[in-house]
Amino acid sequence: MNMLEIDNLNVWFGRARDRVDAVKDATFTVGEGESFGLVGESGSGKSTILRAITGLVPTWSGEIKVRQDPVPKKRPKSFFKSVQMVFQDPYASLHPRHSVDQVLGETLFLHGFREIDARVVKLLDDVGLGQKFRFRYPHQLSGGQRQRVAIARALAPEPKLLLLDEPTSALDVSVQAEILNLLADLRQEHKLTYLMVSHDLSVVGHMCDRLAVMKDGEIVEVMDVAALYAMKAVHPYAQHLLQASV
Amino acid sequence: MDKLLDIENLWVRFPTRQGVFDAVRGVSFSLGRERLGIVGESGSGKSMTGRAILRLIRPPGIVEADHINLGGVDLLKKTDKQMRAVRGQRISMVMQDPKFSLNPVTTIGDQIMEAYRLHNKVSKSGAYAKAVEMLNAVSIRDADRVMRAYPHEMSGGMGQRIMIAMMLIPNPEILIADEPTSALDVSVQRQVLDIMDALVKERGMGLIFISHDLNLVADFCDRVLIMYAGRIVEVCAADKLHEAQHPYTRGLLNSLPRLDAPRARLEVLRRDPAWSETPSVSGRV
Q: Where are the domains of chain B?
A: 1-90+174-238+273-285, 102-171
pLDDT of residue B13: 92
Are the C-beta atoms of B187 and B155 separated by less than 8 Å? no
pLDDT of residue B224: 92
Say if residue B1's pLDDT is above 70.
no
In terms of C-beta density within 10 A (0-12 exposed, 13-18 middle, 19 or more buried), how is residue A117 classed? exposed
Note the ipTM here: 0.75
Cβ neighbours around B281 below 10 Å, total: 18
pLDDT band at A45 (very low <50, low <70, confident <90, very high): confident
Buried b (16+ CB within 10 A) or exposed e, A174-213: bbbbbbbbbbbebbeeeebbbbbbbbbbbbbbbbbebbbb
CA–centroid distance for B185 within its chain: 19
Say if residue A8's pLDDT is above 80.
yes
User: CA dihedral defined by A34, A35, A39, A43, rounded to 10 degrees?
Assistant: 90
How many Cβ pairs within 8 Å bridge chains A and B?
72
Interface of A with B (CB under 8 A): 41-43, 143, 172-174, 176-178, 180-181, 184, 199, 201-203, 205-207, 225, 228-229, 231, 240-241, 244-246
What are the φ/ψ torsions at residue B238 (nearest 5 degrees)?
Answer: -60, -40
* R_g over Cα of chain B: 19
Architecture of the domain whose range is B1-90+174-238+273-285: 3-Layer(aba) Sandwich (3.40)
- Point out the least confidently predicted range of A25-39, B86-100, B185-199: B185-199
pLDDT of residue B99: 75
Reduce the DSSP state of residue B279 to 3 states and report it: coil
Tell me the pTM. Answer: 0.81
Dump pLDDT digits (tens) for A101-113. 999 999 999 998 8
- Point out the least confidently predicted range of A65-69, A169-173, B225-229: A169-173
Residues of A in contact with B154 (CB under 8 A): none
pLDDT of residue B209: 93
Say if residue A52's pLDDT is above 90.
yes
Q: Nearest CA of chain A to the CA of B125: how many Å?
A: 36
Chain B (101-130) residues lying within 8 Å, Cβ to Cβ, of chain A: none
Dump pLDDT digits (tens) for B86-141. 888 899 898 877 778 888 999 999 998 988 888 788 888 999 998 998 888 877 87
Kindly write down the DSSP assignment for every residue of A50-64, as one continuous string.
HHHHHTS---EEEEE
Are the C-beta atoms of A33 and A191 separated by less than 8 Å? yes
Reduce the DSSP state of residue B174 to 3 states and report it: strand
Inter-CA distances, B79 with B49, B76, B86, Å: 20, 8, 11
Which H helix or E strand runs over B84? helix B80-86
Cα end-to-end distance, chain A, whole Å: 35
Buried b (16+ CB within 10 A) or exposed e, A131-145: eebbeeebeebebbb
On whether any CB of chain A is under 8 Å from the CB of B284, the answer is no
The angle formed by the CA atoms of residues A56, A57 and A61, to the nearest 5 degrees, is 130
**Domain A2-90+159-237 listed as CATH 3.40.50.2300:** no
Say if residue B184's pLDDT is above 80.
no
Give A241's contacts (C-beta < 8 A, 6+ positions apart).
Answer: A39, A40, A201, A213, A233, B186, B187
Q: Percentage of chain A with pLDDT > 90?
A: 50
What are the φ/ψ torsions at residue B256 (nearest 5 degrees)?
Answer: -85, 130
Instruction: Determine which of B97, B226, B242, B256 to mutate to test the interface with A (most A C-beta atoms within 10 Å).
Output: B256
Instruction: Determine which of B188, B266, B270 to mutate to test the interface with A (most A C-beta atoms within 10 Å).
Output: B266
CB–CB of A174 and B259 under 8 A? no
Mean pLDDT of all residues belonging to chain A: 89
| Closest partner CB to B185 (pick from A42, A231, A246) | A42
- Point out the least confidently predicted range of A100-104, B211-215, B222-226: B211-215
